[in-house]
Structure 1
Amino acid sequence: MLFLYFISIFNLINSLLTEQCPSSNFCKCSSDLTIITCINRQITDEKLINLNNQFPKSTIILNLSLNSLTSINFLTNLNNLQTLDLSYNKIHNLPSNLFTKFSQLSSLYISNNLIKTIPKTYNEISNINLDISNN
């Protein structure tokens, strides 16, 4: 039993130490992998599905502006995310559970998209920088 515990700890540490920046064709990363910038890379929903598993868990700032995203439901496993920039995409809807999925989120930039309605759950949110202009 103790052996399995050590194996689990080893695997966890190994996965944290081997995190890398997503494909350089799409993103640039800070040296500590906390800032991921994927600006104007023609990223579609399909590409984001593939990239999502490559985003380091240490990501604090993720910039996906100026792409071709229509949804953000594919973003997962970014528990430390504090700033998300989705400006200048083609997003139509916002998931009502966005702030549950990203509990550390403090800044959300979704200006210049195609959003027509905001979920009611967003009314209950405070202490967040939210830019939804030009939708």
Structure 2
Amino acid sequence: PIPTEIGMISYIKHILLNDNNLTGSIPSEVGLLSYLARLHLFTNMLNGTIPTEVGSLPNLEATFNLSSNVLTGTVPIELGMMSNIQRLDLSNNRLTDSMLHLGDSTAFTYLNLSRNDLPSFLLNKSWKDLETLDLTYNQIHQDVSLNLTDLTSMKDLFLSNNLFYGSVPNEIRSLVRLEKLHIDRNNLFGTIPDDILSLVRLRELKLSHSQQEKRCFYGNGIGNCDVLGDPVCCNGDNGEKICSDKAGIGFEDFYMCLSPGLGGAIPAGFGNTPYLEVLELSNNFLTGNIPPEIGT
């Protein structure tokens, strides 16, 4: 374990303990090290929560990395107030916070929260300099619309392997610098919006579905469902009957009842994306012809 006495090394500037097998929790006494510029604790076996005192360190450099540990609980709001931090990496832990605590820091350019157990995520409109957002491999269950309109610096948006539902948001067209868009292996439905092909810098587009499961999604709105049945059954876009495993649901409780997967035609216009290198559309319900410009 990291000893609590570490807080007595008043003038230390660099603590580099990454890539070891350290156990125990991060001592709150780290917050006493006002001269600390570099704190590297990634790739260990540290557990417990992230101490709020870390957010009071005024001289930490641009990157703060606690990835690849066994950290749990919430992300302290103080981390969102660290004006010097541009790159925050908390990936590969066991965080279960809803991520409502990252504050209004406008400095973030890179935010990696992948491979945790997050159930939801709130994207802050003040992160106008954010270039990379990685939320892959969580348990995020919410509409895929994330208020993306103001995040015009975004280059890499990774949302794969979650429980996002809804249609691909049209506001993606405002992300004019976007190069990588990964929304695969979620519960998306609807069609592929033509606006995606206005992103001329796009190099990777992943919209595959993991498998053609049958699900009903709950929330606001009404699907094409027989709510009097037990279980409740619905008709999906592909004509299959979908039955929920939850009985007694009222009509107003439905969001949509569909077999997850994108339908309709593959939009024309791939000639507008000259840098496209990766296109993944597997396990959907796409129809029609493959646009000829894909092969040019």
Answer yes or no: same fold by TM over 0.5: yes
Alpha carbons of 1:41 and 1:35: their partners in 2 closer, same or farther (altered >3 Å)?
A: same
**What amino acid maps onto 2:184 in structure 1?**
S
User: Is 1:96 paired with 2:145?
Assistant: yes
Among candidates 56, 59, 70, match of residue 119 of structure 2? 70
Q: Which residue of 2 aligns with 1:132?
A: 183
Alpha carbons of 1:65 and 1:108: their partners in 2 closer, same or farther (altered >3 Å)?
A: same
Report how far residue 108 of structure 1 moved. 0.4
Kindly report which structure 2 residues correspond to 1:1-135, keeping only aligned pairs within 5 A, or say none: 18=58, 33-46=85-98, 48-50=99-101, 52-53=102-103, 56-73=105-122, 75-122=124-171, 124=173, 127-128=177-178, 129-135=180-186
User: How many angstroms apart in 2 are the aligned matches of 1:74 and 1:61?
Assistant: 13
Q: 1:72, 1:94 within 8 Å by CA — same for their partners in 2?
A: no
CA deviations on 1:5-58 (whole Å, 9 max, x unpaired) are xxxxxxxxxxxxx4757796669xxxx632210112222234x223x02x7532
Q: 1:73, 1:95 within 8 Å by CA — same for their partners in 2?
A: no
Report how far residue 127 of structure 1 moved. 4.6
User: How many angstroms apart in 2 are the aligned matches of 1:19 and 1:132?
Assistant: 36
**What amino acid maps onto 1:37 in structure 2?**
D
Q: 1:92, 1:115 within 8 Å by CA — same for their partners in 2?
A: yes
Q: 2:100, 2:121 within 8 Å by CA — same for their partners in 1?
A: no
User: How many angstroms apart in 2 are the aligned matches of 1:97 and 1:114?
Assistant: 14
More strand by share: 2
CA deviations on 1:29-88 (whole Å, 9 max, x unpaired) are xxx632210112222234x223x02x7532111100011222222545322101100000
Once superposed, what is the RMSD of the aligned Cα atoms? Answer: 3.4
User: How many angstroms apart in 1 are the aligned matches of 2:130 and 2:138?
Assistant: 19
Give the number of the structure whose alpha-carbon radius of gyration is greater: 2
Alpha carbons of 1:97 and 1:74: their partners in 2 closer, same or farther (altered >3 Å)?
A: closer
Number of residue pairs matched?
112
| Secondary structure of the structure 2 residue equivalent to 1:100 | coil
User: How many angstroms apart in 2 are the aligned matches of 1:19 and 1:76?
Assistant: 26
| Secondary structure of the structure 1 residue equivalent to 2:157 | strand
Length-normalised TM-score, structure 1: 0.62
Q: 1:92, 1:114 within 8 Å by CA — same for their partners in 2?
A: yes
Length-normalised TM-score, structure 2: 0.32
Report how far residue 91 of structure 1 moved. 1.6
User: How many angstroms apart in 2 are the aligned matches of 1:40 and 1:66?
Assistant: 5
Q: 2:133, 2:156 within 8 Å by CA — same for their partners in 1?
A: yes
| Secondary structure of the structure 2 residue equivalent to 1:98 | coil
Identity %: 26
User: How many angstroms apart in 2 are the aligned matches of 1:81 and 1:58?
Assistant: 8
